[in-house]
Chains A and B, each alone.
Chain A
Amino acid sequence: MGKKIILEHDHVPGLKNYEVYRGVGGYRSVEKALKTMSPNDVVEEVKKSGLRGRGGAGFPTGMKWSFIAKPEGVPRYLLCNADESEPGTFKDRYLMQYNPHFLIEGMICSSYALGCNTSYIYVRGEYKFIIKILEKAIQEAYAAGWLGKNILGSGFDLDLYVHTGAGAYICGEETALIESLEGKRGNPRMKPPFPAISGLYNCPTVVNNVESLAVVAWIVNNGGEEYAKIGVERSSGTKLISASGNIRNPGVYEIELGLSVEEFLYSDEYCGGMQHAGRDLKAVVAGGSSVPILPKELILKTAAGTDRLMTYESLSDGGFQTGTMLGSGGFIVYDEAACIVRNTWNFSRFYHHESCGQCSPCREGTGWLEKVLHRIENGYGHWDDIDLLVDITKKIEGNTICPFGDAASWPVASAVRHFRHEFEYHVRYPEKVKNREHFAAEPMRLFMDEFVKK
């Protein structure tokens, strides 16, 4: 069993209730930080821990914190990003649903470190049931004196609120989140200025993922060096992975970074192997819908032939030619009956639907991708369409205000790169794919076998 930090007390019934959480040592880190450490000490511990942002980009958290501007008399804000809308990702939900006080505890230490007296948790609106859990936990924390004025007599004040989103994936992008919190459409802002200088209400602001902020409690309790001992290379600590698709045990797992993909996929402690006996693995999207899809050969081993590990470095080994990214930890598994073209079309429909529409390459390009993929998938594709897809992705990538444009391009570019034969199959045998209404059609594998043998 790997080390558990976030799910250490996962087996304890009623952990979401304050008394139970306090009973297993909850909120000790707040006492330690407020009574024995300066804000800067906390920042230093987080730097030493090597913690990297768990929202997708993997930026070192301590370094991000050290950029926050501190003009006199201007409030600073800490925003917890609980928008979690990247397809395949449902780990923050698990943390908030079963262990909400852990997030609150981490946010108190983090707000203290950054000198923020007001913090918000931005939760996607669909998670209404989670919002209720968080609001109750926050009330309990106020009642017990962990939030409010002059916490533990330290002179530090903190108000913590839940802010409800309303169904827009783009609001997970940090500047769109800020716009949304100001009561506007979620249109990402141009950077610079970065939020650390000018964010919410033009004040210095830090945006971090749920998981990044929660583990700060553990880092304060145990020290940054202890945290850095877990994991490998520049991937320290543990990570929540949400596993879905054609596996036996879909769900949320905490892994020590450095576990091999093969073990994660096949061991009974985690995914438990494939959903259907007799259907082999075809592909994996390792870090949420935005990261490149990899075929079986490349997800289990790098191009150099070494075991692929669940780390930032190993998953990205080989660049986009043969690698991918750890991303948000949304691990989606496809068996050999799954149709990669249909999957790619489905993702493109998602990105088209979710584009905020500010930049033409993204607004128009995602629409073209969806249309072209739709006609290929339904047996109306042309041979030129396959290269047209790649061409469109190249014209979107890097030409937009926010990274959404890249996120919409990578799934398509990688699907064509590694599964070109499936696209060709659709164009060559339109009759076989027409009116195939559903996703994971058993005949897909049989068709493909025939095709690949030719």
Chain B
Amino acid sequence: MSTTQEIQFSEAVVNRINEYISHYPEGRQKSAILPILHLVQEEYSWLSEPLMNKVAEVLSIRPIEVYEVATFYTMYNLQPVGKYKLEFCRTSCCCLRGAENIMDYTLNKLGVKEGEITPDGLFTVIGVECLGACGYAPMMQVGDDYIEHLTPESIDEYIDSRRNAAR
């Protein structure tokens, strides 16, 4: 297991961290924790304990202050995830337009249960709460993108294209 000392953020990451910290008043660098955790997750795909310790060091706060935050907010991955995390909205407005069916379809197609990683390491499917796309349902979020008006055909296309790209 790597220790805090072994983790070196790249120069680009360090620059962005400093940029975020500059958005808040002197001595309030802790305010930058959410954007910084997003940044670190983008780089490393999930937030391991050593990574969180490193963030604490960068912000001059105690590690517990980082764990507290990382465990409260649902967008942080505290365990490894597939390369593509397919997050289906499972809240009512989307269900009225077939969200449950399309999520089941995807789970069946991939042969996994919710939260599992496919054997090729590519996909994880999870249900999440309203993503503010209720009028464009059913929908899923993958990384930075919203993919809306889902149909079995568009799911097939999405998954097949990612599988082909990974070959």
Contacts and interface: CB of A to CB of B under 8 A. Distances in A.
Contacts of B32: 183
A185 B34 contact: no
Contacts of B76: 166-167
B75 A126 contact: yes
A183 B69 contact: yes
A377 to B, nearest CB: 12
A180 B135 CA distance: 28
Given A166-B37, A346-B91, A185 B134 contact: no
Nearest to B35: A164
Contacts of A438: 95, 100-101
Contact of A244 (B90, B93, B98): B93
A425 interface: no
A90 B75 contact: no
Interface stretch (B111-119, B124-132, B153-161): B124-132
A201 B35 contact: no
A164 B34 contact: yes
B34 A125 contact: yes
B69 A185 contact: yes
A54 B41 CA distance: 33
B15 interface: no
Contact of B92 (A168, A243, A332): A332
Interface stretch (A13-21, A347-355, A427-435): A347-355
A126 B132 contact: yes
Contacts of B137: 244, 250
Of A92, A334, A440, chain B has the most CB atoms within 10 Å of the CB of A440
B18 interface: no
A75 B131 CA distance: 34
Interface string A151-174: 000000000010111111100000
Contact of A86 (B23, B75, B130): B130
A124 B38 contact: no
A88 B89 CA distance: 12
Interface in B68-105: 68-69, 72-76, 90-93, 95-101, 104
A87 B74 contact: no
A167 B23 contact: no
Contacts of B68: 184-185
A84 B104 CA distance: 27
Contacts of A201: 25, 28
Among A92, A124, A161, chain B packs the most CB atoms within 10 A around the CB of A161
A356 to B, nearest CB: 8
A87 to B, nearest CB: 4
B31 A182 contact: yes
Interface residues of A, number: 60
B31 A167 contact: no
B72 A124 contact: no
B120 interface: no
A354 B129 contact: yes
A439 interface: yes
Nearest to B143: A128
Contacts of B4: none
Contacts of A85: 129-130, 132
Contact of B34 (A166, A169, A350): A166
B151 to A, nearest CB: 15
A120 B44 CA distance: 28
A89 interface: yes
Nearest to B131: A126
A40 B18 CA distance: 36
The winner among A86, A164, A182, A334 for most chain B CB atoms within 10 A is: A164
A128 B31 contact: no
Interface in A250-282: 250-252
Contacts of B98: 440
Nearest to B41: A166
Interface in A71-129: 75, 84-90, 92-93, 118, 120, 124-129
B130 A250 contact: no
A119 B111 CA distance: 47
Contact of B28 (A90, A132, A166, A182): A182
Contacts of B146: 129
Nearest to A243: B135
Given A85-B132, A250-B134, A167 B92 contact: no
A289 interface: yes
Contacts of A86: 130
B6 interface: no
Interface in A239-254: 242-246, 250-252
Contacts of A186: 72-73
B141 interface: yes
Contacts of A242: 134-135
A338 interface: yes
Contacts of B34: 125, 163-166, 180, 183
18 contacts: A85-B132, A87-B93, A126-B132, A128-B143, A163-B35, A167-B74, A183-B34, A183-B65, A185-B72, A243-B135, A244-B97, A244-B137, A245-B134, A289-B130, A334-B96, A347-B92, A353-B129, A437-B100
